[in-house]
Amino acid sequence: QRLLEKRLAIIGVHRRTREELRDLGGRIQVLPQSQQFGQERIALLPHDSYYRDLSHLPMEQRARVNFDHPDAIDTPLFVEHLRALKSGRAIELPVYDFVRHRRTEESRRIAPRPVVLVEGILLFAEREIRELLDFKVFVDTDADVRLVRRIRRDLTERGRAVPDVLR
């Protein structure tokens, strides 16, 4: 608690699927101590909001991009936003359209909070990001469970076909 009173803490959570973070988030919310923190004390910064804008490419080419590679992420913007939050400045979080593989014109304002929870599958791939994290957490789930969750998510939320998900 003293850490939260003194400065902002950035917690990096590496997960293999978003559902693992949801599982972890659900567990954190049921802890009695979490009630003292509240939503107003924690900001969530999803790494996959920083996928590069591919609107300049034809849709067929966008669909072939490997989004599980660090080059798919706009790391300079992500690092800039982490530094801004650390210095007490709000940021405009990009909103990514996972169906069309592009950034939208919209953004979400994220204000600095005592705890910034940063999450993503590629979060620990870049040294510059790792160095900005005060704490690092790795969440793991069995591979078969991850695959089922990813297929379900990509079919329902991202409009993809099973062969595209398995590619």
Q: What is the pLDDT of residues 70-98, one digit of tens each?
A: 999 999 999 999 999 999 999 999 999 98
Query: Which DSSP letter does residue 98 get?
Result: T
Q: Each residue of 8-24: pLDDT tens digit?
A: 899 988 865 554 455 55
pTM for this entry = 0.73
**60 membership: H or E segment, kind and range:** helix 59-63
Among candidate residues 14, 21, 9, 40, the one with its CA nearest the CA of residue 110: 40
